[in-house]
């Protein structure tokens, strides 16, 4: 049998098996593993004091209006350590083994009990057995088992937690929910026994852990960035005068959801012309005119991890001379900022490099007289950490595994003290940069950044272009 026939036969045999595998994978299977979360808990416990306890609550369900809740979003710290996305849960982590409810260990979690009536309306609750099976945790209890006498805090020397700043005491419900009930118990015991809360130490530990991304996390951020880039690319293809800002937003968020993103990573920013000069503009209602530019700061969240990508494109597919000058100045600044992202550099290295380029450029163009004036047109910092939170926590030194944004911008609102030809030009270019052992990698490089590449993509067909 020749090689071509052999390959053909193999394809005939393998294709149905691949099809069957696709059919049997009914839900996404690329979530963080129980082993990942167990490893993060172990790393946290290592940093506790000898008799310390880590206390982490799930997020509270919040009422939007009347009997409608906001879409639930889990506490990122709680998710990092457990993977569980249900409310009304509490995690306790100890350095040394303790005994709680006749179980001895260093990890204890209290979760919702199963309730067929609630599950009829909002879906399955995992319950004790479900949490044990899915997340491989042993000491699992229902949240009604957590009482003032559940654990003796008298042996504890430090409380490692951020719960007082997480809003779980706010009165979002008409009656006290299980989460607030557990938080009130913890708080009353801590106050009664005068136990110190090591808030600063907790933040430092969390920052050191969450700031250095593990390979599994990098995979998810990379996926989020790729999905985001695809959305931005289709806006470049579809945009035209007469389109609204919210239609551009719809195109972006369509691609996010179509590719498996659960949510946008943050409220989508789509500002045309003067609206591009509002840093966190979220109204997104303006109709775009010929000659406008659209600044789209939108990104997907994938399995808890957010990208953060911004592109600025002309509505008619062609930059004006003034727009091109400002755009290429921002691009030059971003290139300088990305080049400064090397292992061992201070976190502010990208900002210093990008700001130097912007300041010199604005002064040369006569838009600003000095660095102080230039800052009015570039008022934000160039970088922030990226991960479970879009503005994530992390170290002040760029270490391998750090993911940060590089996002210089220039914003010249109408009425600025410069030539009117620059008015209503707002440009930001933002990409997600992974620090590697030898340099960096642009995770959102799948969306073009140069003037020529954007204008070329604007000529391509979009599924939304009528």
We report the CATH number of the domain holding residue 54 as: 3.40.350.10
**367 to each of 73, 129, 280, 360, 421, how far by Cα in Å?**
43, 65, 23, 10, 11
Q: Is residue 399 part of a domain?
A: yes
Q: Tell me if residue 279 falls in helix, strand or coil.
A: coil
Q: Is residue 374 part of a domain?
A: yes
β-pair type (305-306, 409-412): unpaired
| Tally of structural domains, the chain | 2
200 & 239 share domain: no
220 & 349 share domain: yes
310 & 370 share domain: yes
The whole-number pLDDT of residue 232 equals 98
Distance CA 238, CA 15 (A): 36
DSSP H/E element including 98: strand 90-100
Domain that holds residue 166: 34-208
389 & 357 share domain: yes
117 & 229 share domain: no
- In the structure encoding, which two tokens stand for residue 94, read together? 């100890």
Distance CA 300, CA 284 (A): 17
pLDDT digits over 87-106, tens only? 999 999 999 999 999 999 99
Which domain-ending residue is among 208, 232, 250? 208
| 322: Cβ contacts below 8 Å, ≥ 6 apart | 421, 422, 425
**26 to each of 21, 23, 259, how far by Cα in Å?**
10, 6, 15
Q: How many CB atoms lie within 10 A of CB 191?
A: 9
In this prediction, the residues of the chain whose per-residue pLDDT falls under 70 are 1-24, 170-174, 466
The whole-number pLDDT of residue 324 equals 98
204 & 220 share domain: no
Distance CA 18, CA 226 (A): 25
Of the candidates 119, 118, 100, 120, which has an alpha carbon nearest to the alpha carbon of residue 109? Answer: 100
- In the structure encoding, which two tokens stand for residue 186, read together? 């913890």
Distance CA 83, CA 38 (A): 10
The whole-number pLDDT of residue 362 equals 98
220 & 82 share domain: no
Q: Is residue 193 part of a domain?
A: yes
């Amino acid at each position: 049998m020749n090689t071509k026939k052999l390959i053909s036969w193999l394809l005939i045999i393998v294709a149905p098996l691949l099809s069957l595998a696709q059919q049997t994978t009914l839900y996404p299977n690329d979530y963080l593993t129980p082993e990942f979360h167990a490893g993060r808990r172990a790393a946290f416990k290592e940093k506790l004091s000898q008799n310390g306890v880590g206390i982490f609550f799930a997020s509270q369900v919040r009422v939007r209006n009347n009997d409608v809740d906001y879409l639930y979003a889990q506490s990122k710290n709680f998710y990092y350590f457990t993977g569980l996305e249900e409310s009304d849960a509490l995690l306790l982590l100890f350095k040394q083994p303790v005994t709680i409810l006749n179980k001895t260990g260093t990890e204890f979690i209290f979760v919702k009990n199963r309730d067929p009536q609630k599950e009829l309306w909002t879906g399955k609750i995992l319950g004790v057995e479900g949490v044990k099976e899915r997340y491989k945790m042993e000491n699992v209890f229902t949240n009604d088992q957590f009482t003032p006498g559940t654990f003796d805090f008298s042996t504890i020397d430090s409380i490692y937690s951020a719960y007082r700043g997480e809003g779980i005491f706010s009165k979002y419900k008409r009656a006290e929910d299980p989460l607030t009930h557990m938080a009130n118990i913890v708080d009353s015991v801590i106050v009664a026994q005068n136990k110190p809360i090591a808030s600063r130490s907790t933040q430092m530990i969390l920052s050191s852990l969450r700031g250095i991304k593990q390979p599994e996390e990098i995979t998810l951020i990379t996926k989020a960035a790729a999905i985001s880039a695809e959305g931005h690319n289709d806006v470049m293809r579809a945009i035209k005068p007469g389109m609204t800002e919210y239609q551009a937003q719809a195109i972006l968020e369509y691609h996010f959801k179509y590719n498996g993103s659960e949510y946008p990573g943050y409220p989508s920013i789509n500002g045309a012309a003067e609206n591009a000069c509002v840093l966190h503009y979220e109204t997104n209602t303006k109709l775009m005119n010929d000659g406008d530019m659209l600044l789209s700061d939108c990104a997907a969240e994938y399995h808890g991890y957010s990208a953060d990508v911004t592109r600025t494109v002309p509505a008619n597919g062609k930059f004006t001379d003034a727009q091109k000058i400002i755009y290429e100045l921002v691009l030059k600044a971003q290139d300088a900022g990305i080049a400064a992202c090397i292992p061992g550099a201070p976190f502010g290295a990208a900002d210093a490099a990008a700001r130097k380029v912007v300041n010199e450029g604005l002064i040369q163009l006569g838009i600003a007289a000095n660095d102080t004036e230039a800052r009015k047109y570039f008022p934000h910092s160039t970088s922030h950490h990226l991960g479970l939170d879009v503005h994530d926590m992390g170290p002040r030194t760029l270490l391998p595994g750090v993911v940060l944004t590089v996002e210089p911008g220039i914003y010249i609102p109408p009425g600025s003290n410069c030539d009117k030809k620059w008015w209503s030009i707002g440009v930001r270019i933002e990409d997600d940069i992974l620090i590697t052992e030898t340099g960096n990698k642009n995770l959102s490089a799948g969306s073009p950044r140069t003037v020529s590449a954007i204008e070329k993509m604007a000529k391509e067909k979009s599924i939304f272009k009528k």
